[in-house]
């Protein structure tokens, strides 16, 4: 399942599913200005927009199964791909959903995790001190060097970038030490 992280300027607000982020933002006592609110897809590191309107104000149903979150979009394939899909149990849509689910369960490669951290940092730290040197450390897989270079950054920004690039190492560093 995809996770997202929301920030208001340099302050971390929430990490979780799309529904969790939307509900957390709706429950804030005071909604940050839209220009201060940033939400990132943790898999890609890219900034995304969520529709925070209530379900009652969202547009009516389109093709597919909107109550289940199914969205109809265009897919272009070669004829041999359509032939293969047509032979799959449940039809083309079902086969595509199964393929996407299977691929999404595969662990992210180290390179794609670093790319996600880079995308996030481009937005959140591009004008911070030592940004370029920190990005070079990121792509050298130098976690300690990156941490030192990012020390002056807001902790939430630095820590999220570390968690995107080195999730296992960051989970271990946050675990309570043995007695």
pLDDT digits 0-9 by tens, 145-169: 999 999 999 999 999 999 999 987 6
Residue 95: phi and psi, rounded to 5, are -65, -45
Q: Please report the pLDDT score of residue 150 as a whole number.
A: 97
pTM of the model: 0.69
Q: Please report the pLDDT score of residue 60 as a whole number.
A: 46
pLDDT digits 0-9 by tens, 35-56: 789 999 999 999 998 777 654 4
Query: CA angle, 66 as apex, 90 and 27 as ends, to 5°?
Result: 135
Q: Please report the pLDDT score of residue 177 as a whole number.
A: 46
Q: Please report the pLDDT score of residue 68 as a whole number.
A: 64
Contact 117, 138 (CB under 8 A): yes
Q: Which residues of the chain have pLDDT under 70?
A: 1, 53-70, 169-179
In the chain the first and final C-alpha atoms are separated, in Å, by: 34
Q: Please report the pLDDT score of residue 178 as a whole number.
A: 45
| CB count in 10 Å sphere of residue 25 | 18
Q: Please report the pLDDT score of residue 74 as a whole number.
A: 80
Q: Please report the pLDDT score of residue 170 as a whole number.
A: 59
């Amino acid at each position: 399942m995809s996770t997202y992280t929301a920030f208001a300027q340099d302050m971390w607000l929430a990490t979780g599913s799309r529904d969790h982020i939307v509900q957390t933002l709706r429950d804030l006592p005071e909604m940050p200005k839209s220009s201060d609110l940033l939400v990132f897809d943790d898999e890609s590191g890219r900034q995304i927009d969520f529709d925070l309107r209530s379900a009652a104000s969202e547009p009516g149903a389109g093709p597919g199964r909107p109550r289940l979150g199914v969205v109809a979009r265009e897919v272009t394939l070669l004829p041999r791909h359509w032939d293969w899909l047509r032979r799959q149990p449940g039809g083309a849509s079902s086969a595509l959903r199964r393929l996407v689910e299977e691929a999404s369960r595969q662990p992210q490669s180290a390179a794609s995790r670093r790319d996600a951290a880079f995308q996030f940092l481009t937005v959140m730290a591009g004008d911070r001190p030592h940004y370029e040197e920190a990005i070079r450390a990121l792509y050298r897989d130098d976690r300690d060097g990156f941490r030192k270079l990012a020390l002056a950054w807001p902790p939430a920004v630095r820590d999220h970038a570390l968690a995107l690039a080195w999730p296992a190492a960051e989970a271990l560093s946050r675990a309570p030490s043995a007695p």
